[in-house]
Amino acid sequence: MFHYKSISQVVKLFAMSSPNITYISNFYSQEESIEMFTKLSKCPFKQPINKVWGKSYRPLRKSCSYGDMDLEYEYSGHCELALPWNRTMFKIKSDVEKKTGFEYNFVLLNFYESGHAKIGAHKDDEPSLDQTVDIATLSFGVCRDTIFSKKGCKSVRQALEAGSLLLMHDQKEWTHAIPPQPCVKEARISLTFRRVWSSLQQILDEMERDYSIPPCKRLRRE
Ligand SMILES: O=C(O)CCC(=O)C(=O)O
């Protein structure tokens, strides 16, 4: 017979051994996804120069970003300066916010021209990211897989279909990647919505830490 305690331990163990994600397959209909893919293909994608472990490289993947005014996001030694929201991007952002209940101020777009373009295993854990807000990934174009991995756990593979929305809740323990799929010949565009601290907020946070301002005197984030 199971005791309540042992069941809750099993539930906890299971939660630790699987990535904390929610996948919604038809967030946008097929027709909407095709229309959006066409619009999004016209975004000013550029091949960034990334730096990992001191080495610079140009990934095959191209990217661009939109966000609130003067917002910058630094990752892989590369700084993305957000373009101002346009009508399409603002509409998509509102749809995602309605579904998730979170407010986003930044979106990173990735353009994978074919299955040769990829993104290595990584965590979106930059200090400039608000970790209490789920990262929301929309996919358009060809279906690609994502792989979640954690040491000692079985990897989880999830197909990201056109029009789908993937929510990553608390990903401190798991990495995610878009592996190469050379047999895939068509393009995919992903949009990852995030909440980024502004540089001013980061300075205030550092001051709080450095001068040990008691919590009651701290400025609230919002
Ligand atoms: O394209 C994707 O689905 C993932 C993108 C990603 O992991 C990232 O931009 O950090």
Query: Ligand 1 centre from 192 Cα, in Å?
Result: 6
Residues sharing a CB contact under 8 Å with residue 28, sequence separation 6 or more, in sequence order: 36, 95, 138, 163
The pLDDT, as a whole number, for residue 141 is: 98
Number of domains the chain contains: 1
Per the model's pLDDT, the better-predicted residue between 181 and 81 turns out to be 181
Best mutation site among 119, 142, 157, 165 for ligand 1 pocket (most ligand atoms within 8 Å of CB): 119
Pocket-forming residues, ligand 1, beta carbon under 6 Å: 108, 110, 119, 124, 137, 146, 160, 176, 178, 190, 192
Best mutation site among 24, 65, 146 for ligand 1 pocket (most ligand atoms within 8 Å of CB): 146
Q: List the binding residues for 2-oxoglutarate.
A: 110, 112, 122, 176, 188, 192, 194
Q: Is residue 24 included in any domain, yes or no?
A: yes
- How large is the average pLDDT for residues 13-20? 72
Q: Is residue 35 included in any domain, yes or no?
A: yes
Range of the domain at 31: 19-210
Q: Is residue 202 included in any domain, yes or no?
A: yes
pTM of the full structure: 0.83
Q: Is residue 120 included in any domain, yes or no?
A: yes
Q: Is residue 195 included in any domain, yes or no?
A: yes
Question: Mind listing the pLDDT tens digit for each residue in 151-194?
Answer: 999 999 999 999 999 999 987 889 999 999 999 999 999 999 99
| Element holding 4 (H helix, E strand) | helix 4-16
Q: Residue 47 belongs to a domain with what CATH number?
A: 2.60.120.590
Q: Is residue 14 included in any domain, yes or no?
A: no
Q: Is the pLDDT score of 218 beyond 50? A: no
Best mutation site among 60, 166, 192, 194 for ligand 1 pocket (most ligand atoms within 8 Å of CB): 192
Are 155 and 82 in contact by the 8 Å Cβ rule? The answer is: no
Please report where in the chains the tokens 């069941």 appear, as a residue.
7
> Would you give the distance in Å from CA 137 to the centre of its chain?
6
Q: Is residue 11 included in any domain, yes or no?
A: no
Q: Is residue 134 included in any domain, yes or no?
A: yes
